[in-house]
Amino acid sequence: MLAKITQSKTLHWLGRQLSNSEDPRAFFDPLTAAMNPMWVQQYTPARVERITAETADTKTFELRPANRWGGFKAGQHLNIRIDIQGVRRTRTFSLSSSPALWESRGLITLTIKRLPGGLVTNWLHDDLKVGDVIGLTEAFGDFLIPVEKKPVLFIAGGSGITPILSQLETMALGNYPEPVTLLYYVRTPNDVIGKEKLAALAARHPDFSLDVITTHESSTPRYLNDHDLDSIPNLAAREIYLCGPKGLMDLATEKLRQRDIKAEQLHSTFFAPPAPAQISSSDIGGEVTFSASNLSVDSIGDANLLEMAEAAGLTPQHGCRMGICHQCTCTKTSGTVVNRLTGQVSGPGSESVQLCISIPQGPVALDI
């Protein structure tokens, strides 16, 4: 962390720390959680009802959130909050069930793949048990099925199928009137997630066509190719949804653009941040003023606005810390910031910025 609070503002910072400690939810939650973890108020608690193995490295967790949770649309994500050895961890996952399950039975599912070396996914697979309670944020994201009914092509890779499972089920329940095709790329047949659900949808709905393509069954990998796309009827008229590893998404995007698919027809989502842009350290850093809190912080190096706000004792809303969930978006009232992911430099005036991926370039003022 390369931010320090200016000496003249230290008293304001101390005042903020004291007022944070007086947040009644922060004070009472540890006490109420000890009595009943479903009573906490700072996030929505959800009890684990069932855990099902999908593949050797993927499980579906059926959860019952507290009634106050706000629901979701098919294709959206949420952040889970768990404590591992006393440290709060937050991660983003997509909902794999349809909103109808939440509306009718108060249940949702998250389908989660174990990542090699992944702290949270390994903990979820090895330590989370039926009856345990985890925290949830509200759902977010704009990877949504079209409002206007059009033919649809889904292209999924590996665990990128999870939001698409929710979308397919929702479309089937609503008798979606247009053709829907899924190209699903997996390493081997054993890696298909949601196998039974997909087979049942394909059997019940003649307008749903499913093509599972294995990429690693021979010594030469078999990735998405021209034939896969050219065999899709009426490709040019389709809304196209991509979710999977970056390599698949980049390849699909390039091939679709070669076929004159417009940017507005393409919808994509991912959970791994793109590689950061190269930003010269001489171009960044500056004083950041948090106007509503009457605080200023000096930064050097590549500290982002979220890190600087937290160093000042503020607790802005945030989720993924990767530029994906947009929960940290707030208003910059003046000054210039650099986008950590794209290297793009903002304008000098008032605009929305994502705190977790914005680095000040000279003095910046924020409305928090």
Residue ranges in contact with ligand FES by CB under 6 A = 318-321, 323-328, 354, 356
The DSSP secondary-structure symbol of 356 reads: G
Single-letter code of the amino acid located at 67:
N
CA neighbours closer than 13 Å in the CB half-sphere of residue 90: 14
Residues paired with residue 211 on neighbouring β-strands, in sequence order: 183
Question: Least separation, in Å, of the C-beta of 304 and ligand FES?
Answer: 9
Choose between 51 and 322: whose C-beta lies nearer to ligand FES.
Answer: 322
Question: Least separation, in Å, of the C-beta of 4 and ligand FES?
Answer: 22
Question: Least separation, in Å, of the C-beta of 303 and ligand FES?
Answer: 14
In degrees, rounded to 5, the angle at the alpha carbon of residue 102 between the alpha carbons of residues 96 and 104 is 130
Choose between 4 and 326: whose C-beta lies nearer to ligand FES.
Answer: 326
Question: Least separation, in Å, of the C-beta of 121 and ligand FES?
Answer: 18
Choose between 171 and 364: whose C-beta lies nearer to ligand FES.
Answer: 364
Question: Least separation, in Å, of the C-beta of 327 and ligand FES?
Answer: 5
Exposed (0-12), middle (13-18) or buried (19+): which is 83, by Cβ within 10 Å?
A: exposed
Q: What is the DSSP string of 81-113?
A: EEEETTEEEEEEEEB-S-HHHHHHHS-EEEEEE
Choose between 125 and 318: whose C-beta lies nearer to ligand FES.
Answer: 318
Question: Least separation, in Å, of the C-beta of 284 and ligand FES?
Answer: 18
Its sign, for the CA torsion 115, 302, 316, 349, is: negative
Which residues, including other chains, have CB under 8 Å from residue 173's CB and lie 6 or more apart? 98, 100
Choose between 136 and 328: whose C-beta lies nearer to ligand FES.
Answer: 328
Strand order in the sheet with 108-113: 87-94, 77-84, 133-136, 44-55, 58-65, 108-113
Choose between 182 and 328: whose C-beta lies nearer to ligand FES.
Answer: 328
Identify the CA nearest to 91 among candidates 103, 109, 78, 104.
78
Question: Least separation, in Å, of the C-beta of 353 and ligand FES?
Answer: 10
Q: Which residue has the tokens 């247009």?
A: 178
The DSSP secondary-structure symbol of 138 reads: -
Choose between 1 and 31: whose C-beta lies nearer to ligand FES.
Answer: 1
